[in-house]
Amino acid sequence: MTESVNYTLINATGELVAFCDQAKQHGWLVVDTEFVRTRTLYAELGLLQAKAGDQLILVDPLLDIDLSPLWALLRDPNMVTVVHAAGEDLEIFHRAKGAPADLFDTQIAHAFLTDGKQIGYAGLVELMLNVELDKSQSRTDWLQRPLTKHQLDYAAADVEYLSEIYPRMRAQAVDSGKEALILAECKEQVIKRGREPNAQFAWRDVGGISLLNGQQRAILRELTIWRLALAREHNIALPFIAKDHALIEIARTEARSRYGLSQIEELHPISLRRYSKDILACVEKGLAVPESEYPEAIPRFDQDGAYKRYFREAKAVLKEIAAAEAIPASMLGSRKQINDVYVWENFTPDSTRSQIEPPDLYSGWRGALLKEALRSILP
């Protein structure tokens, strides 16, 4: 079971500065966050935990504490930031301008060093330290105050044990010859989590666009631009403005009245009441788009013979290269990532390519291994 963890509650900026100064001498620190993200586009930070050397701190971001010394520490190229499953933590760091210069994600490292499967923090601690963590606080509302001692102990454990795991896992990465690859993937995740999607092309990420004609895709484009702008301005999760299925139906039916919108079952009554004028304005704007400016068609292709052949050959390419490089095939590429290449090559004009990110399998270390081979098997 979890042992008692000693930690310091940071109550003033000066205390945080002192910790950061000490952490610089150590060369690496473990960081974790507790946050709430139920109805918001961006995670809301509720608690921040860090450990360097024998100092473990908990910082309450809801207090009047300047967190910039910590963000500057993460940006320091001479500091290694250790996190487990850093995805949403990285989004928080980016928004605070604290994106790590040198990240080591133990979930990524474990996947490369084993069979490619993701492992949760509790599972990793049990596997490597034979310690069973208390999971009872995993659904805590971290924005509620005051936090109990039980909650604070739970949060502290998230960095305490990772500080024991990191040196061992880093040594394993070096011994296996996979350290450079692990660090490359960690760097890619830092970059990826810092990207803000181009609102003009948000429509491409909505499921069901193959149901729409050109005019209707123009309507969908206007709807997704509006929805994303509203979500960013007010920090509202996209589905709480309007779900994807609702936007598809609005575009497909070309709804031109409040009554027309009310007939769309997927559109929640609250969204209808709050946003009907904005939605109808998007429909009108989309209807005014000339044919020459329609968004490109992305048809359904999963039953297409050429796609099926391509997918089989792409999977074989990934398997062969993964074996040659001693990389778990699941870490090299997924079905979605293979499909993204197919869409990029077949349904993405140059004018769009210049404004969106290329497929994962064409970028970074994956691109260096896969791009030429994948392009050679295109139909």
**Domain stop point among 168, 193, 218:** 193
**Same domain, residue pair 360 and 268:** no
| 222 catalytic residue (yes or no) | no
Average pLDDT, the chain: 96
**What does the alpha-carbon distance between residue 342 and residue 339 come to, in Å, rounded to a whole number?**
5
Is residue 154's pLDDT more than 50?
A: yes
Helical (H) or strand (E) element with 70: helix 68-75
Average pLDDT of span 173-178: 97
**Same domain, residue pair 230 and 107:** no
Give the burial class of 364: count Cβ atoms within 10 A of its Cβ; 0-12 exposed, 13-18 middle, 19 or more buried. middle
Full DSSP string of 269-308: HHHHHHHHHHHHHHHHHHHTS-GGGPPPP----TT-HHHH
Number of domains in the chain: 3
**Same domain, residue pair 138 and 173:** yes
The pLDDT tens digits for 266-276 are 999 999 999 99
**Domain stop point among 293, 319, 347:** 293
Instruction: Work out the percent of the chain whose per-residue pLDDT is above 90.
Output: 95
**Same domain, residue pair 81 and 219:** no
**What does the alpha-carbon distance between residue 169 and residue 165 come to, in Å, rounded to a whole number?**
6
Catalytic residue among 32, 102, 222, 249: 32
Average pLDDT of span 352-370: 97
**Same domain, residue pair 45 and 66:** yes
CA nearest 162: which of 190, 102, 120? 120
Higher pLDDT, 379 or 83: 83
Match 């990524």 to its residue by tokens.
108
Match 């123009």 to its residue by tokens.
218
Give the list of residues 6+ apart from residue 291 with CB closer than 8 angstroms, or none: 214, 215
Domain CATH code at residue 322:
1.10.150.80
| 166 catalytic residue (yes or no) | no
Does residue 109 lie in a domain region?
Answer: yes
* Residue 148 DSSP one-character state: P
CA nearest 98: which of 120, 115, 83, 119? 83
pLDDT at 375: 96
Helical (H) or strand (E) element with 376: helix 364-376
pLDDT-derived band at 3 (thresholds 50, 70, 90) equals: low
Side-by-side strand order, sheet with 103-105: 8-10, 55-59, 44-52, 28-36, 80-83, 103-105
**Same domain, residue pair 150 and 61:** yes
Catalytic residue among 60, 105, 158, 249: 158
| 60 catalytic residue (yes or no) | no
**What does the alpha-carbon distance between residue 313 and residue 281 come to, in Å, rounded to a whole number?**
45
**What does the alpha-carbon distance between residue 268 and residue 255 come to, in Å, rounded to a whole number?**
15
Catalytic residue among 7, 34, 161, 342: 34
Strands 80-83 and 103-105: parallel
CA nearest 65: which of 53, 83, 50, 87? 50
The pLDDT tens digits for 181-196 are 999 999 999 999 999 9
Is residue 317's pLDDT more than 60?
A: yes
Domain CATH code at residue 88:
3.30.420.10
- 68 φ, ψ (degrees, to nearest 5): -60, -30
Does residue 140 lie in a domain region?
Answer: yes
pLDDT at 1: 46
**Same domain, residue pair 267 and 318:** no
Provide the whole-model pTM.
0.94
**What does the alpha-carbon distance between residue 316 and residue 274 come to, in Å, rounded to a whole number?**
50
Does residue 346 lie in a domain region?
Answer: yes
3-class secondary-structure state, position 106: helix
CA nearest 264: which of 246, 278, 238, 241? 246
| 302 catalytic residue (yes or no) | no
**Same domain, residue pair 34 and 170:** yes
What range defines the domain where residue 135 resides? 8-193
Is residue 2's pLDDT more than 60?
A: no
Radius of gyration of the chain from its Cα atoms, rounded to whole angstroms: 24
Average pLDDT of span 22-44: 96
**What does the alpha-carbon distance between residue 186 and residue 105 come to, in Å, rounded to a whole number?**
6
Catalytic residue among 121, 154, 342, 362: 154
**Same domain, residue pair 232 and 367:** no
Is residue 4's pLDDT more than 80?
A: no
Please give the sequence-ordered ranges of beta strands (E in DSSP) within the chain, or none if there are none.
8-10, 28-36, 44-52, 55-59, 80-83, 103-105
| 175 catalytic residue (yes or no) | no
**Domain stop point among 193, 222, 242:** 193
Does residue 300 lie in a domain region?
Answer: no
Does residue 259 lie in a domain region?
Answer: yes
pLDDT at 9: 97
Does residue 1 lie in a domain region?
Answer: no
The pLDDT tens digits for 50-78 are 999 999 999 999 999 999 999 999 999 99
**Same domain, residue pair 257 and 325:** no
Catalytic residue among 89, 91, 105, 340: 89
Whether residue 358 has a cis bond before it, omega within 30° of 0: no
**Same domain, residue pair 57 and 127:** yes
**Same domain, residue pair 64 and 86:** yes
Does residue 90 lie in a domain region?
Answer: yes
The pLDDT tens digits for 273-304 are 999 999 999 999 999 999 999 999 999 998 88
Full DSSP string of 25-63: HHSEEEEEEEEE-SS-SSPEEEEEEEEETTEEEEE-TTS
